Amino acid sequence: MSNERIGFVGLGMMGLPMAQNLIDAGYGVTVFDLNDATVNSAKAFGASSAASASETAVASDIIITMVPDSQHVEAVIAGPDGILEGINAGSVVIDMSTIDPEMGKNMAKLVEAKGSNFVDAPVTGGVGGAEAGTLSILVGGNAEAFERTLPVLNVLGGNIAHMGPVGSGHTTKIANQLIGVATVAGMSEAFVLAKKAGLDMQLFFDAVKDGAGRSWALETLGPKMLEGDFSPGFMVKHMQKDLRLAAELAEKTGTSIPTSALIAQLYRSVQAEGEEATNQGHQALIQAIEKLSNEQARL
């Protein structure tokens, strides 16, 4: 095992189990989060805590950020008491959030000006993947920085892909989300149609789960949707954010994404139910189709 000291900024549903996996692998980990309860949880499994992102950077050789959106990454890296104020020359910042690729490139320039490296390494695989250490990790950055961070990334994920220079990881994640959300939308329509047409939903699911539509989403989220389980592995509000990023990237690149634009509107109808609705798992998209069809697709 490397003697690299790890800093971890952002202990949400994904970040906390990821930090635990690093500690279980033998790394020394210093954590920072605005939520004291999650910091205490991390300390309970062996992490050290810091009072700020800056203090985390002082104590670390590799600093991981895992926060919700572009402005949060900017704040924890370049804001007051941010990573740049404490970073040691020769360190590496790994941003594992899903953000605007341009923000990642801007942060890379600031980190490199401090004599350190930056890689973008967003993840896919949900909370289950974070807990099991089986995430797919999509990396952008120079080859030297990628090789240095690879032992750490291998603890967190089962499929590590170096996609190209800084920004490539964030771009890949945004495109990946369109595949995932389109699958959930198709499942939602199929389930509601099957239910309204009078099929036995368990028989229907068993019949199609290994067919041409087989996917991680169908295998993992399908049973939850049919049981009315909308507990979050990845929240509605985070998928809405990713769809916004996709729309912005599509605008910049002149790409037409009409299907994704429609799905964003369907999520907006879920959002209209209030904040609690946006904290549901993104499989709650089926609720929009159910309302349009006046039918609940349940077992």
147-189: pLDDT as tens digits? 999 999 999 999 999 999 999 999 999 999 999 999 999 999 9
**d(Cα 192, Cα 226) in Å, to the nearest integer?**
10
Tens digit of pLDDT for each residue in 99-157? Answer: 999 999 999 999 999 999 999 999 999 999 999 999 999 999 999 999 999 999 999 99
User: Is 173 a catalytic site residue?
Assistant: yes
Single pTM value for the model:
0.95
- 159 by DSSP, 3-state: which? strand
Catalytic residue among 114, 173, 195, 237: 173
**d(Cα 134, Cα 136) in Å, to the nearest integer?**
7
Domain annotation for the chain: domains and CATH numbers: 6-164 (3.40.50.720), 171-293 (1.10.1040.10)
Q: Supply the pLDDT for residue 275.
A: 92
Tens digit of pLDDT for each residue in 250-284? Answer: 999 999 999 999 999 999 999 999 999 999 999 99
User: From the CB of residue 115, how many other CB atoms can be counted at a distance below 10 Å?
Assistant: 11
Q: Supply the pLDDT for residue 3.
A: 85
Q: Cα Rg for the chain, rounded, in angstroms?
A: 20
Q: Are 73 and 67 in contact (CB under 8 A)?
A: yes
Cα 31 to Cα 49, 81, 110, 118: the distances in Å are 5, 14, 22, 19
Q: Supply the pLDDT for residue 2.
A: 62
Tens digit of pLDDT for each residue in 26-76? Answer: 999 999 999 999 999 999 999 999 999 999 999 999 999 999 999 999 999
Q: Give burial (CB, 10 Å; 0-12/13-18/19+) of 224.
A: middle
Structure tokens at 244: 């916004």
Q: Are 8 and 31 in contact (CB under 8 A)?
A: yes
